[in-house]
Amino acid sequence: MRTLLMMSVAGMIALSVGACQSEQKSEQKLCAAASSFRVHVAELDRMTPQSTVAELRAATDRVNNDANEIQRTARKMNTPTAEQFNAAVKQLKRDSDAMPSNATLGDVQGQLATDVRNVRITGQALTTEAGCPA
C-alpha cells in the first residue's frame, strides 16, 4: 500500500514538472511573438495621414500574423484578457479590410484609431499577464 502511495505521488510530481515545463515553453513562445507584435504595432503607430490603406493592410497583416501566434499560445491561458485581445485583433482586421485601398489614412484615421489602441492595450495586458518582459 505504501509503495502504491509513493508511486502515485511520484507520478503526480512528474506530471506537475512536465506541465510546468510545457507552460514555460508556451510562455516563451508567447513572449517572442509579443516582441514581434510590439514592433509591428509600432509600425502602425508611425503611419501618417499620407499612408495608404494598402500600406495599412500590409501592416495589419503583420500584426495579425503575430496575433495569431500569440493566440495559439495564449489559448492555454484561457483568460478574459486573451479573449479581449483576440476580439480586438479581429475588429482591427475587419475594419481595415472594409476600407477602400486607394483611401489615405487621413481619410479613415478616426475609424481605426480606437481599434489600434484596443489592440495595443489588450496585447500589453496579455503579455503582462503571461509575465513577459516589457
| pLDDT tens sequence across 18-58 | 434 456 777 788 888 889 988 988 888 888 888 888 888 89
How high is the pLDDT of residue 23?
60
Q: Which residue, among 67, 111, 66, 73, has the nearest Cα to 85 in the 3D structure?
A: 67
As given in the structure block, the three cell numbers for residue 133 are 518582459
* Whole-structure pTM value: 0.66
- Cα–Cα distance, 120 to 43 (Å, whole number): 12
Per the prediction, the chain carries an average pLDDT of 77
How high is the pLDDT of residue 12?
39
**What are the structural domains, with CATH classification, of the chain?**
26-130 (1.20.120)
